Chains A and B, each alone.
Chain A
């Protein structure tokens, strides 16, 4: 260590820019402050954050402290790593400080106020959309294209201006300034400004020269900058919560009092939890019927659509509608169709039975099931709905797969006089196997997460349905986490389900080979 310091150039030489000494001081402050924060997070119980989240925070802070210390040493030696590490640290500190300041100013929740104002002026949005559409079609207007484009652009501008004005933008800015006055907010804003200033300095050409940065090291910095939005969002809203989730699943926690570590207790309990086992059984029954019901008709329809007859695009569009309409609306429509007294489904059954009775003189009585409220059939109602929703989507997937099949094969089969069925059986099905495996896998993963359909169909009754007949693992998770506040147990349910889904994914990759997703 002493050797390292001895090698370092003396401070304050003419070659150093004016900001170098402050940078070193700042590096020191950052390292000390992070160390103090880490210590504080370890010692102080119930910091600002929930119990389990605190330990994730401690780990993150410890890592940051280590990085800050290294950055200090590297910066003293003018090692290029000092620039990269310092850049990342300062950027991160700036973002976090700015985030806290803005959150204290209620900026992130301020969207609600925007929603308030937006409601009155949203119609001006139409003007912007109109301008956008017109500019899109401008090229087709021929000689006037330039004029139309300009006019459209001005329409959009006017729309935006009126939108912002009617949304009380000025009042909003004033309000914002008022909230900014407050010691905490000012402190965090100051930290953010200092951190961002050093970030900018480290980004500059002079810093690059000082740290003897070569081309590839400079590129690393740019890479960090471009990845930053994704990386920060991913860590905050995905990776962090994921780790926390696993942690919570090993604790007994109601969300209010301190979490108690219980090890694998929850997972052991799951194995003898009748309700959880019931949810697994339900989802198994559901999958065994719903997956073929959503895949086999799709394969047939895709084969027909692939025949290049006129009107196929229209059919494809129609089949696609259920998958874009939104699960809530669609489920509510079906809820009315399922209605046992005035619903169309029972009426159709009645009509068909009468028709058969008239045709064959048989005396069948039409079954009139209580679709949603009969514990024997409730799950079957969900299956019908799920299949109806998913078939069109799967059809388009199959169609995409079929268009990759060499047309010459079909021509050869035609010459041999093969019937359409034989061509389907001997060419389409075997060559479509990768697509089929993919479709089955995605449909299975979707089916395992079944929640919306039973929840909305049964509402306002509990989503578990009559006699727990539509209790799915996710419904069970929801009940545990957000109704009974068994947060630890709910997390265990989530991870158990995740393991199941992961198993399906692994199975898929094993079938598909490794070349599926990662081919560049």
Chain B
């Protein structure tokens, strides 16, 4: 290794390192850009949902659409509520109100840019005596002391304008055609939408029903799954494993095959149009039994053998030893069942539908509201916000179990 090659190699290493850092920055930047892009796509509908829930009905039909809820600004001038406008003045765009209307005015046009027009009182424009040709027409040119300073514009035709005065400074005055003047708007969330929707069309009742059904389905499924999972993992009886395979094989059968006969069964039992039809058939879940069984199998046998010697019965061993140890599996199953019960749609649609609005669950209430929301989508969105808030809150607290649920089963 000769002495004079050393600086060369150092430089090479430095260049390599710089290249690698650059490459890292580029690839990481690209990765974050893609991730952020998808995050925006995933989040936008929810942002839109919350914003729309806070809008006025007219605001939801605005074009071009705006995300944030806005409503026209109103101010009290001389004891009266008047609409405010946002117009360019000599002091920049200001909030102004209409002080006088019907002023004789001209519609002036910039000879160099026929798209740029300005409506201004004729009394305040002074004729320069020259003419300009706009679109083949010779028009008289006026000098105007307008909001953007003194300009020379050609008079196209006559019109009438209103005089607008700034709310905070009576000396700031501007003119505009009243009909097309831009209204002043402010971001103005309509929080009362939420109280309105709760009082409207039994929505609170639907919320209660969903909570009730969800609690019962989650609790009941946990109970049966823990019992079944224990039997299939720890109690020996003839044909046990064959029964287990057949039972979890039923996971593959889609619910839609059952929907017709299950509905007939509900008819026979007299459960149609009752909340019971949403609860009792759904307390038994092959997937839940499978999940609990898989977890119980992994619990070391020594633990219960010691308890057996103490003379403890199986029932006590299950609830005293197995259940406390199985908290992760139970939480996973609970989150899964929660989502299932909270969001189920097709079965309530069939078994309750329009028969009895008192027994609507949230999904049905939303769907009905969606069909009627022609005139007030804001209330519909307030309802949607309420319906997704609970799953989101549960998700925030139990994120780990949601992800675990997906990772262990992949069942939706």
Contact of A114 among B28, B212, B228, B388 (CB under 8 A): B212
Interface residues of B in 132-159 (CB under 8 A from A): none
Q: Are B256 and A449 in contact (CB under 8 A)?
A: yes
Residues of A within 8 A of B281 (CB): 233, 236-237
At the interface, yes or no: B178 with Cβ under 8 Å from chain A? no
Contact of B264 among A219, A222, A244, A319 (CB under 8 A): A244
B331 to chain A, nearest CB (A): 11
B356 to chain A, nearest CB (A): 8
Q: Are B205 and A396 in contact (CB under 8 A)?
A: no
Known: A309-B28, A315-B39, A324-B402. A460 touches B371 (CB 8 A): yes
Residues of B within 8 A of A455 (CB): 349
Interface segment among A14-22, A37-45, A150-158, A326-334: the answer is A326-334
Q: Are B48 and A344 in contact (CB under 8 A)?
A: yes
A324 to chain B, nearest CB (A): 5
Q: Are A325 and B42 in contact (CB under 8 A)?
A: no
Interface segment among B73-81, B183-191, B229-237: the answer is B229-237
Interface residues of B in 246-296 (CB under 8 A from A): 247-248, 250, 252-254, 256-265, 267-271, 274-276, 279-284, 286, 289, 294
Residues of A within 8 A of B388 (CB): 325-326, 329-330
Residues of B within 8 A of A491 (CB): 260-261
Interface segment among A140-148, A174-182, A190-198, A496-504: the answer is A496-504
At the interface, yes or no: B34 with Cβ under 8 Å from chain A? yes
Contact of B43 among A122, A321, A460 (CB under 8 A): A321
- With contacts defined as CB atoms under 8 Å apart, how many contacts are there between chain A and chain B in the complex? 320
Q: Are B259 and A494 in contact (CB under 8 A)?
A: yes
With A and B bound together, what is the CA distance between A494 and B256 in angstroms?
7
Interface string of B13-56 (1 = CB under 8 A from A): 00000000000000110011011001101111110110010000
In this complex, how many residues of chain A approach chain B with their Cβ under 8 Å: the count is 114
Known: A108-B280, A322-B42, A347-B65. A333 touches B384 (CB 8 A): yes
Closest to B293 in A: A520
Contact of A318 among B42, B224, B274, B407 (CB under 8 A): B42
Q: Are A223 and B237 in contact (CB under 8 A)?
A: yes
Interface string of B324-351 (1 = CB under 8 A from A): 0000000000000001001101100110
Q: Are A388 and B42 in contact (CB under 8 A)?
A: yes
Interface string of A215-252 (1 = CB under 8 A from B): 01001101110111110111011111110110010000
At the interface, yes or no: B129 with Cβ under 8 Å from chain A? no
Q: Are A108 and B406 in contact (CB under 8 A)?
A: no
Q: Are B410 and A329 in contact (CB under 8 A)?
A: no
Q: Are A234 and B286 in contact (CB under 8 A)?
A: yes
Q: Are B283 and A227 in contact (CB under 8 A)?
A: no
At the interface, yes or no: B323 with Cβ under 8 Å from chain A? no
Interface string of A426-443 (1 = CB under 8 A from B): 000000000000110010
At the interface, yes or no: A495 with Cβ under 8 Å from chain B? yes
Q: Are B350 and A50 in contact (CB under 8 A)?
A: no
Known: A115-B208, A227-B227, A388-B41. A248 touches B274 (CB 8 A): no
Contact of A400 among B235, B245, B294, B406 (CB under 8 A): B406
Q: Are A125 and B211 in contact (CB under 8 A)?
A: yes
Interface string of A394-434 (1 = CB under 8 A from B): 00110010000000000000000000100000000000000
Contact of A304 among B31, B63, B289 (CB under 8 A): B31
Residues of A within 8 A of B359 (CB): 112, 115
Known: A50-B267, A333-B48, A397-B406. A226 touches B42 (CB 8 A): no
Q: Are A241 and B265 in contact (CB under 8 A)?
A: yes
Residues of B within 8 A of A265 (CB): none
Interface segment among B97-105, B108-116, B167-175, B362-370: the answer is B362-370
Q: Are A112 and B274 in contact (CB under 8 A)?
A: yes
Q: Are B224 and A229 in contact (CB under 8 A)?
A: yes
Residues of B within 8 A of A420 (CB): 27
Known: A111-B279, A230-B247, A420-B27. A119 touches B204 (CB 8 A): yes
Known: A220-B237, A324-B339. A237 touches B387 (CB 8 A): no
Q: Are A242 and B38 in contact (CB under 8 A)?
A: no
Residues of A within 8 A of B230 (CB): 226
With A and B bound together, what is the CA distance between A459 and B353 in angstroms?
14
Known: A219-B237, A229-B224, A459-B367. A122 touches B208 (CB 8 A): yes
Q: Are A222 and B406 in contact (CB under 8 A)?
A: no
Interface string of B365-383 (1 = CB under 8 A from A): 0110011000001001100
Residues of A within 8 A of B265 (CB): 53, 236-237, 240-241, 244
With A and B bound together, what is the CA distance between A77 and B45 in angstroms?
71
Contact of B39 among A319, A347, A487 (CB under 8 A): A319
At the interface, yes or no: A271 with Cβ under 8 Å from chain B? no
Residues of B within 8 A of A48 (CB): 268
Q: Are B63 and A341 in contact (CB under 8 A)?
A: yes
With A and B bound together, what is the CA distance between A377 and B46 in angstroms?
24
Closest to A249 in B: B260
At the interface, yes or no: A369 with Cβ under 8 Å from chain B? no
At the interface, yes or no: A380 with Cβ under 8 Å from chain B? no
Q: Are A297 and B212 in contact (CB under 8 A)?
A: no
At the interface, yes or no: A286 with Cβ under 8 Å from chain B? no
At the interface, yes or no: B62 with Cβ under 8 Å from chain A? yes
With A and B bound together, what is the CA distance between A238 and B381 in angstroms?
36
With A and B bound together, what is the CA distance between A119 and B31 in angstroms?
48
Interface segment among B84-92, B119-127, B391-399: the answer is B391-399
Residues of A within 8 A of B44 (CB): 344
A339 to chain B, nearest CB (A): 9
Interface segment among A5-13, A62-70, A276-284, A474-482: the answer is A474-482
At the interface, yes or no: B297 with Cβ under 8 Å from chain A? yes
With A and B bound together, what is the CA distance between A332 and B49 in angstroms?
10
Q: Are B228 and A227 in contact (CB under 8 A)?
A: yes
Residues of A within 8 A of B367 (CB): 328, 332, 456, 459
Nearest 6 Cβ contacts at the A-B interface: A233-B284, A223-B237, A226-B231, A400-B407, A241-B261, A326-B343
20 A-B residue pairs with Cβ-Cβ distance under 8 Å, sorted by A, are A50-B264, A50-B268, A53-B265, A108-B274, A112-B276, A112-B358, A228-B227, A240-B261, A241-B265, A244-B265, A315-B35, A328-B387, A329-B384, A332-B366, A341-B63, A342-B63, A393-B412, A459-B371, A491-B260, A501-B252
